[in-house]
Structure 1
Amino acid sequence: MIETLKIIFNRDLNRLKSEIELYNNENDVWKIQEEITNSAGNLCLHLVGNLNTYIGNVFLKTDYVRNRELEFSLKDIPKSDLIQKIEETITVVNDSLDMISEEELKTDFPLLVLEENMSTEFMLIHFTTHLAYHLGQINYHRRLLNQ
């Protein structure tokens, strides 16, 4: 299961990096319009914050300090900085997953994230689907603006 999770996280975090790189106009990364209230840049910051908080801090004991409000309010961070944050997150996720045993997957996740305790395995799968969900939003956002 650990190797499968690593494959999925790496695939989708690298896709996230590619999506940010593919924006033709750097300013478009931060555009919102009509009912689209989260820019690709803010969704990217949200994903980085989520993974560093719930995977990096929990398993690597990093000193990452999340400010969820800023994930959605910061603007105009250069694409190169976003890409660097994604690359750092890839390293944190891989190093964290390397520390988890197959047996540990069956134990309760160390933090209460959802409404009730879930296994570590469940939460790691949850984090992959959260990543994929927002990755799809970013892809759609980019294609709408790059027409």
Structure 2
Amino acid sequence: MITESLKSLYTRDLIKLKTEIEAYQNEEILWKTDKNILNSAGNLCLHLIGNLNHFFGAVLGNSGYVRQRDLEFSLKNIPRTELIKNIDATLTVVISTLDRLSTEDMEKAYPLEPLGYPMTVGFFMIHLIGHLEYHLGQINYHRRLLDI
């Protein structure tokens, strides 16, 4: 039951991420920062892609993905088409990983402690949807402030 709900939420929010990235009228603004806006929408998008590919794909799905978190915030000017392609690929990784998890798997301990304490797989998957939504809101605000 929770797995189907998570699949629905991740699908909704990753499609929304793609919609936000596509909505920029000026592609260069994806990489702009201004005053107190420390992270560009492009970097936040790379961060979400890296985060989900690591915690879903590499840790739970044994995908072989190797995260380079520092690059998520330092790379610039990745073409929008590449960002969108990577969002689509990330959605595939998330859904395929969730499809392989049983109800019992969701109750098992997550293999890492990224929050500094033990938690179940299900708890961490819920945490990660909140993380995705937080940055999705930042991207939306970034676009409405800077893509004039």
How far off is 1:113 after superposition? 1.0
The Cα offsets for residues 29-85 of structure 1, whole Å up to 9 and x where unpaired, read as 000000101000000000000000000112221111111000000000010000011
Distance across 1 between alignment mates of 2:4 and 2:29: 35
Q: What's 1:29 paired with?
A: 30
Distance across 2 between alignment mates of 1:27 and 1:73: 15
Q: Tell me the number of residue pairs that the alignment of Structure 1 and Structure 2 aligns.
A: 147
Distance across 1 between alignment mates of 2:139 and 2:100: 30
Q: Which runs of 4+ in 1 moved over 4 A?
A: none
Distance across 1 between alignment mates of 2:59 and 2:72: 20
- In structure 2, the gaps of 5 or more residues are none
Structure 2 counterparts to residues 101-120 of structure 1, below 5 A? 101-120=102-121
- The one-letter amino acid paired with 1:89 is T
Using the size of structure 1 for normalisation, the TM-score is 0.98
- In structure 1, the gaps of 5 or more residues are none
- The one-letter amino acid paired with 2:131 is H
Q: What's 1:2 paired with?
A: 3
The Cα offsets for residues 94-129 of structure 1, whole Å up to 9 and x where unpaired, read as 000001001111111111211111011110000000
Q: What's 1:87 paired with?
A: 88
- Report the RMSD for the aligned CA atoms in angstroms: 0.7
How far off is 1:145 after superposition? 1.8
1:54 aligns with 2:55: yes
Distance across 1 between alignment mates of 2:21 and 2:63: 25
Contact 1:59–1:99, Cα closer than 8 Å, also in 2? no
